[in-house]
Amino acid sequence: MDPINFVILACVLFAIGAAAVLVRRNAIIAFMGVELMLNAANLALVAFSRIHGQVDGQVMAFFVMVVAAAEVVVGLAIIIAVFRARQTISLDEPAELKG
Among 41, 54, 86, 99, binds another protein (CB under 8 A): 54
3 state SS of 57:
helix
Q: Which of 69, 86, 97, 99 lies at the binding interface for another protein (CB under 8 A)?
A: 69
Alpha-carbon 54 to chain mean position: 25
Amino acid in position 83: F
According to the binding rule CB under 8 A, does residue 84 interact with another protein? yes
Note whether 41 binds another protein by CB under 8 A. Answer: no
Looking at the Cβ atoms of 53 and 99, the one nearer to another protein is: 53
Q: Are 47 and 3 in contact (CB under 8 A)?
A: yes
Q: 68 with 35: CB under 8 angstroms? A: yes
Is residue 85 close enough to count as binding another protein by CB under 8 A?
A: no
Contacts with another protein in 15-34 (CB under 8 A)? 15-20, 22-26, 28-29, 31-33
What lies within 8 Å, CB to CB, of 32 at 6+ separation is 20
| Residue 86 binding another protein, by CB under 8 A | no
Answer yes or no whether residue 70 interacts with another protein by CB under 8 A: yes
